[in-house]
Structure 1
Amino acid sequence: MKRTAIAAVAITLGTLVPTMFATSVDAATSKHTMKVATIVLNGSVVSKPDKFVAGTPATTYMPIFYVQQLINKALGISSSSDVWNGSAKTWTLTVSGAKPNVISQGSGAAINVNGTTIEHAPVLIDVDPSSGQSTTFMPIYYVQQLLNQVLGIPASGDVWNGNTAKWTINTNAQGISQNTMANAMWDVFNSINYDVVTHATMDEAGVAPTSDPVTAGDVANWLAAWAEKSKGYTLRYNVTSSTGQITKAGTFIPFNLEYESSTDPYTWASEGALFQGTSVTNSSSVISSSDESTILSNLKWWLTGDRVVNGVHHLHVPMYGNFINYVSIVPQTLTPQQYEKALSQTEKYYDELTATVSGDTVNLTLPDVTNTSEKLVWRADDGTWKKGYITGGTSRVGDTGGVTWSFQNDTKWGPSIGISALNDNLEGWSIAYPSLASGSPIFTEPIDGNNEQPAP
């Protein structure tokens, strides 16, 4: 009697689901001595598969199918994206948003994630006594390595003692669905009236949530899709690119990740502090109900450029398009990678700016950027263009911060705050803020001077 089912594993957005590797193996009895192992998830026994010890040095082989069940139970998602080439001994997996690193090289089956071969692992086929089917077995060590890499589970999150595999994973059994998160995000979008060209609906943004649990990758993709339909600006002047191409005044420039700190939605969202203060570790992280409110708060902070906590303003680089910055320096002056690195670092420190305001007195705390790899400097003035917190000079070197700058502001303009990367063509930000009649800056109406983007 022939068996033609070899259980494997498929991963998409941190999900493993059943798929079958075709082969043909006699499956009357197992060729190895089988003993029962135990798989424990967050303190509860998930399954008790048979395992065996083989190889030199000896190592424990576990049926991948049962590890698959573990992850399915942990994340509650059912989807697949994998290709197994038995003759080439290559296992190719597609994991949305994952940027895997090479773990180790060697002989055996190649495990490839998103185009990168992260490791090679020996595989053996034997009969699983529980199912009576010929099944692919792999050393538990390599499975741990793979899942830790793809799902972002720290080494402390899984323990194997030779008989029991204990996994500690941030499960979302009681978490929120894509529908719930998407609706909550669109409520935030629709509440923002400053610098929104149009309030794109989910349909207009191409977003179609389901009842499946929502991941960080979903959230980032939706935010990028909304921004590309809802944000942007019309050029006031002709813009000449580094290659000499002219984009004429009056042209509408929609928001596009091509001009931001990363073209990958999850990376861009992470650098924009969208997941700050949450349990999210990568794009496949499932959003728990406890993380939802934090993400929504961070989203509003990004869209408005400010939030007040105990009377302190915490500023944020506004979600303005960087078309002019990008086309004027790439590719002639900087590579896209240099540009993204500079913006990523300047954004990180700008998002650490704080200010307290009493009437027209502003106390602006500039984070210390002394030891930054991109040699960052601050540039700031009080709105009069006369009282600048900057050393100036032909070197255009600003201050490295680590101080609180206090000033009185009695004009229609609040402070203008800039941060630049001296290593990369002064790439960075310059944000100005209008003031109330009292001289108090309106931090929720930031004006991106670098990109000819005046207040609406």
Structure 2
Amino acid sequence: MPKIGNKLAYICAAALASATLMPMTSASAATYPMSKKYININGTLFTSAEGFSAVDPDSGQYTTYMPIWYIMQLLDKLGVANSWNGEEWMLTIPGATPTPLNVGSIASDRRLVSVNNTSFEDPVAIVANDPYSGNPTTYFPIWYIMQVLNMAGITSSWNGTNWNLTTTNSVASQSVTKAQIVAQMMQALGMQPNAKYTPQYDATLPVVDMQRLSPTSSPWTDVPTSSPYFGYDYTAYESGWVSPDSSTSFGAGDTMTVEQVDAIYQAWTGLPLSEMYTQNAFGNPYNFANVEYINHGLPGGPDTTVTASMWSQMLNNIQVNLRGYIPLANGKYQMIFNSSTLPFDSATNGIYSAKFVAAESAFTTWFDSDVQFWTSGGYIYMSLPVQDPLLSISVNTYNGDSAQASYNGGATWVTLPKDGGDTTMGKPVLLRAPASAGGLGFSAIDYTYDQGGPFYGVTYPNGLNGTPVMKDYAGNVDSIVNVN
């Protein structure tokens, strides 16, 4: 069964309200070329993102637009609680008293920013293509966010490339709460607030029904409907991905361990906990999240309490997982294993087979460390360190052209069959396919469990010098979502 949330993370705008998807101005990534911007906190690099300059209709001056997701992670790092529902960006800053904005009807190209439940700004936002996924996402003018941060005592400056922020409010060692973690994980995974996600199945394809909910009150006294976290916490609860402490308490102020957070991610993927203990597979949510990159770079172990800096790292890791690769310094990319293409099993109504889970666990040990891809001389290349004699690799391109394999580092090449040529078992292999092939990918077959793995492929929709996009065998980065 494909990952329930993966299609929404890559096309999060598509899963939001239709107004979020519709072009809000004539702007596009083609009109405003992207360039890398850097966010620094107290002189230390926090993150970088692709942004662009455009004229702010309110001032008539050029300003910088950046993807809303990265700004949200910045606010989280700075301890500013915030949530986004596609129409309104809600922030909580204790002690802040913003001047209310006289809001009538909001124009379709504007998005509301509220602070402490007070409407504060309504800047023009721009929908442009995300260079990582090639799909639309929402970009915000950072000047307006700088004004919000001023209310939190955080000063900032901007030189066109570097956004430098200065704060004495260190949150690195502070714990984050259950209400915050659950809500922000739902946002990172592309979920809608106040919704219920339910997997449905037909004979060949899983479909995810998203039912919009309209709660008039909260079942929990500690997360009222006025909380910026309520809508996303409610979604996680209704979808069965998290349990409240009781019928009247969500446990909003609880701290969480790494494995407790991992369990929410595992539940969201659709992988049943019972399947994780079969045939020496992942064993527990913590091991599963380790394989999926979610716990990369975290200190401690499964019982470590998640701090603000750890949570920021986990949110970033989720985005890397959904993107499917890490850029390397040499122009190559390292693939990241994720369960986005786990197969649907009609015989068990969508539940993974134990053999498949075991096979996944068996070959992820070499997968995460050494599977790399890159382009050169009009070709897409992949290196696979296959050394297990019981592991076979099936290779495909997207338009049926033949791929080639080399077992001696590229000195000589063997043309593989067009219908998915298997490489020789037990040998490291280098693969390549011309740009005309539309992309290159592989799946693995573990003969220990007589079970095939998912297909991992890469395409370059904007040419070999553009940004790579991970896709399944059918060329999709998403699955079907029904909105009710």
TM-score, scaled relative to structure 2: 0.42
TM-score, normalised to structure 1, is 0.44
Bigger relative contact order (CA 8 A; separation at least 6):
2
Larger-gyration structure (1/2): 1
